[in-house]
Amino acid sequence: MQLQLLALFVAAASFIVETRAAPAVSAREQLRFNDGWALEDHLGNLSPWRKAPVPEGISEDLPENCVVDQVMLMHRHGSRYPLVTELLFIQGLSSRLANASDIIQNLSDLPDEFQFLKKSYSTKLGHDDLTAPGRRQTFDAGVEFRLQYPQLAAKTILAGLQDRVVESAQWFQQGFFGRTYSNTSVLETIPEDNVTISWITPMNTCPLWQYNYGNNLTIAWGNTYLPPIQERLNDVLQGVELSLDDVHGAFYACVYDLAAWGVSPWCSVFTHSEIEDFEYELDLLMVGAFGYNLPGDMGSVLGSLLVDKVIERFTNASGTSVPMYLEFGHDTSIDMALTALGLAQDDPPLTVDSRPSERKWRTSQQVPFAARMVFERFSCSSSSEFEANTPYVRLMLNASPFPLSTCQDMDSKYGTCTLADFTASNKASTDTVWGDARWNQTCGNPGF
Ligand SMILES: *[C@@H]1O[C@H](CO)[C@@H](O)[C@H](O)[C@H]1NC(C)=O
Ligand SMILES: *[C@@H]1O[C@H](CO)[C@@H](O)[C@H](O)[C@H]1NC(C)=O
Ligand SMILES: *[C@@H]1O[C@H](CO)[C@@H](O)[C@H](O)[C@H]1NC(C)=O
Ligand SMILES: *[C@@H]1O[C@H](CO)[C@@H](O)[C@H](O)[C@H]1NC(C)=O
Ligand SMILES: *[C@@H]1O[C@H](CO)[C@@H](O)[C@H](O)[C@H]1NC(C)=O
Ligand SMILES: *[C@@H]1O[C@H](CO)[C@@H](O)[C@H](O)[C@H]1NC(C)=O
Ligand SMILES: *[C@@H]1O[C@H](CO)[C@@H](O)[C@H](O)[C@H]1NC(C)=O
């Protein structure tokens, strides 16, 4: 109760000094503001793809005498429509507004950013599938990949068997291979069901894993941050009486209109601080269900399957590994892998009590739509900053280096470490395989 009052006070106080986003004119104009605060940087895992910021002091270009000889890409699908469960909130909001249209027409002094409601708002969003911006993001990624690693041959693309993931892989394939793609490459799929062991969807074969580990955090945080926003909006929209779910729906309308149409009237209705509270909800969801806030070390156990793949492929001396692994999955695949690597970990862990302004777990930067987690294996011909002819590993997350700070001996200029160090530092992952004692203890015996 006390916490809730405190949060209410903080939200109210920050509202007074907050700038509100100007009414939407066009998608491009809407996203950036004079003070450098950008909406697209604060929409959590529902942000459109952007290059991540380069960490301070880290150089993003390797020395000229270094060559990448192997990469493994885990690519999140591009922007999509809301999930059915999320669409319900937007539809609920729409019908509330339709029902109250007479009341809204009668409101005098409606602030500019709410004027769109006089023309009525009803949603035409679909659900689950890739959107037009999602098509563009993944096609562009294919082109960019071809240009970035011209020295590496590829033939096969692998996608988790879900429509938006497969479609993303198909656009990428066309961008990467061009119009002869169907003759020069193969698209394979791996089921995302509960009987297929997969580093893309490891939680599906972990019976004790539950989405509610994250979802329950979002409910608790929502009970803190949504009521003051509800009160503010209902003050403006006298008589409409938005419920907490409607307010939640308005946030979803903002992010998903953007994800589908590139513009939304709803984003301008919120203050920066309110958007950041919604962003934190998304961070809590992901860290709770696919990261460090899972019980015990479940997050690391699940993510170990992907880390094991990297090490297996980068160390395979038998010559069976290929130069490029191009694989498509989810934000969840990337978040679990980060957790197994021990990266982006907050200490103390994130909680529902308050939103820390500084935090390492940032889904806006780490797992936006079309996120790209790229492990690069490289070596350099003459010794300079790197030992000659020694394989090294670098992690590129959304086209910027993500320092491998959990290696024993990371170099501080590039954020890389030797493959041997990377392998030794991730022994907890390589010591874990699906169905062994540690897996079964964490996940419960899968029973098949
Ligand atoms: C619709 O409006 C009527 C009258 O204002 C109200 O009684 C009813 O609860 C409203 N329904 C919804 C879903 O908002
Ligand atoms: C809207 O205003 C008109 C004129 O004042 C009034 O007759 C009508 O009842 C109002 N409608 C609602 C839903 O408040
Ligand atoms: C694929 O190969 C077949 C057989 O060589 C050829 O007929 C067809 O035109 C090719 N398709 C594309 C898109 O290059
Ligand atoms: C997999 O899911 C199906 C329902 O989709 C369920 O009937 C079955 O028991 C599950 N199997 C395992 C091994 O969890
Ligand atoms: C989520 O919350 C519900 C209701 O409080 C509770 O019954 C359930 O055990 C929680 N689930 C998890 C995984 O924490
Ligand atoms: C090398 O790759 C093959 C085929 O992918 C695999 O069966 C084998 O276990 C790998 N070896 C190592 C040392 O990872
Ligand atoms: C873990 O569970 C799997 C599936 O039921 C079983 O085959 C395996 O023997 C178990 N592992 C251990 C170490 O008990």
Is 29's C-beta closer than 6 angstroms to any atom of ligand 6?
A: no
Residue 29 is assigned to a structural domain of this protein: no
How far apart are alpha carbons 434 and 179 in whole angstroms?
Answer: 39
Closest ligand 4 atom to 446 CA: 13
- Residues written for the chain: 448
Same domain, 191 and 278: no
How far apart are alpha carbons 434 and 386 in whole angstroms?
Answer: 35
How far apart are alpha carbons 10 and 352 in whole angstroms?
Answer: 15
Is 441's C-beta closer than 6 angstroms to any atom of ligand 7?
A: no
Three-state SS at 186:
strand
Same domain, 260 and 180: no
Whether the CB-CB separation of 308 and 199 falls below 8 Å is answered with: yes
Is 223's C-beta closer than 6 angstroms to any atom of ligand 5?
A: no
The rounded percent of the chain whose pLDDT value lies above 70 is 91
Is 212's C-beta closer than 6 angstroms to any atom of ligand 5?
A: yes
Domain assignment of residue 322, given as a range: 66-81+133-210+297-443
Same domain, 337 and 309: yes
**How much is the pTM?**
0.91
How far apart are alpha carbons 203 and 118 in whole angstroms?
Answer: 45
Q: Which of 208, 212, 294, 443 has the most ligand 5 atoms within 8 A of CB, as the residue to mutate?
A: 212
Same domain, 74 and 164: yes
Whether the CB-CB separation of 141 and 372 falls below 8 Å is answered with: yes
Same domain, 73 and 153: yes
Residue 152 is assigned to a structural domain of this protein: yes
Q: How many C-beta atoms surround the C-beta of residue 3 within 10 A?
A: 12
How far apart are alpha carbons 376 and 416 in whole angstroms?
Answer: 10
Residue 26 is assigned to a structural domain of this protein: no
C-alpha closest to that of 81 among 120, 124, 129, 45: 129
Same domain, 197 and 137: yes
Residue 125 is assigned to a structural domain of this protein: yes
Least confident residue range of 34-43, 66-75, 322-331, 424-433:
34-43
How far apart are alpha carbons 163 and 160 in whole angstroms?
Answer: 9
Is 391's C-beta closer than 6 angstroms to any atom of ligand 7?
A: no
Domain end (from 283, 313, 342): 283
And the tokens for 126?
A: 């679909």
Same domain, 242 and 390: no
Q: How many C-beta atoms surround the C-beta of residue 94 within 10 A?
A: 19
Same domain, 372 and 226: no
pLDDT tens digits for range 213-240 = 999 999 999 999 999 999 999 999 999 9
Average confidence (pLDDT) over 320-341: 96
Q: What DSSP designation does 40 have?
A: G
At residue 13, the pLDDT reads 38
Closest ligand 7 atom to 439 CA: 1
Q: Which of 310, 318, 423, 433 has the most ligand 6 atoms within 8 A of CB, as the residue to mutate?
A: 318
CA of 429 to the centre of ligand 4 (A): 27
212-236 vs 272-290: helix crossing angle, rounded to 10: 170
Is 445's C-beta closer than 6 angstroms to any atom of ligand 4?
A: no
Catalytic residue (one of 257, 331, 335, 346): 331
Residue 271 is assigned to a structural domain of this protein: yes
Residue 49 is assigned to a structural domain of this protein: no
Instruction: Identify the nearest ligand to the CA of 218 by its number.
Output: 5
212-236 vs 2-17: helix crossing angle, rounded to 10: 50
**Model confidence band, residue 319 (pLDDT cutoffs 50, 70, 90):** low
Catalogue the E-assigned strands of 139-224: 156-160, 186-190
Percent composition of the chain: helix, strand, coil (DSSP 3-state, to 5):
50, 10, 40
Same domain, 325 and 276: no
Residue 232 is assigned to a structural domain of this protein: yes
At residue 317, the pLDDT reads 66
The residues, any chain, with a CB within 8 Å of residue 29's CB and separated by 6 or more, are none
Q: Is cis: bond before 348, omega within 30 of 0?
A: yes
C-alpha closest to that of 393 among 358, 365, 423, 369: 423
How far apart are alpha carbons 416 and 397 in whole angstroms?
Answer: 13
Is 194's C-beta closer than 6 angstroms to any atom of ligand 4?
A: yes
Is 99's C-beta closer than 6 angstroms to any atom of ligand 1?
A: yes
- Known active-site residue 331: yes
How far apart are alpha carbons 332 and 74 in whole angstroms?
Answer: 11
Q: How many C-beta atoms surround the C-beta of residue 259 within 10 A?
A: 25
pLDDT at 106 over 60: yes
CA of 183 to the centre of ligand 3 (A): 6
Q: Going by CA atoms, what residue is nearest to atom 14 of ligand 7?
A: 437
Counted domains in the chain: 2
How far apart are alpha carbons 445 and 441 in whole angstroms?
Answer: 7
Instruction: Identify the nearest ligand to the CA of 183 by its number.
Output: 3
Least confident residue range of 2-11, 95-104, 137-146, 396-405:
2-11
Domain end (from 260, 283, 306): 283
Q: Going by CA atoms, what residue is nearest to atom 9 of ligand 3?
A: 180
Q: Going by CA atoms, what residue is nearest to atom 10 of ligand 3?
A: 183
Same domain, 372 and 402: yes
β-strand pairing of 324-329 with 156-160 = parallel
Q: Going by CA atoms, what residue is nearest to atom 14 of ligand 5?
A: 213
Average confidence (pLDDT) over 242-267: 97
Domain end (from 251, 283, 315): 283
And the tokens for 191?
A: 């089921």
At residue 125, the pLDDT reads 97
Q: How many C-beta atoms surround the C-beta of residue 338 within 10 A?
A: 29
Say which amino acid occupies 342: G
pLDDT at 69 over 80: yes
pLDDT tens digits for range 177-213 = 999 999 999 999 999 999 999 999 999 999 999 999 9
**Model confidence band, residue 33 (pLDDT cutoffs 50, 70, 90):** low
Is 57's C-beta closer than 6 angstroms to any atom of ligand 4?
A: no
The residues, any chain, with a CB within 8 Å of residue 109's CB and separated by 6 or more, are none
Same domain, 124 and 246: yes
Same domain, 196 and 218: no
How many alpha carbons lie under 13 Å from residue 231 in its C-beta half-sphere? 11
Ligand 3, CB within 6 Å, residue ranges: 179-180, 182-183
Residue 366 is assigned to a structural domain of this protein: yes
How far from 249 is each of 82, 90, 159, 266, 287, CA to CA, in Å? 11, 4, 31, 10, 22
CATH of the domain at 307: 3.40.50.1240
Greatest CA separation for the chain: 75
Whether the CB-CB separation of 64 and 317 falls below 8 Å is answered with: no
Mean residue pLDDT of the chain comes to: 92
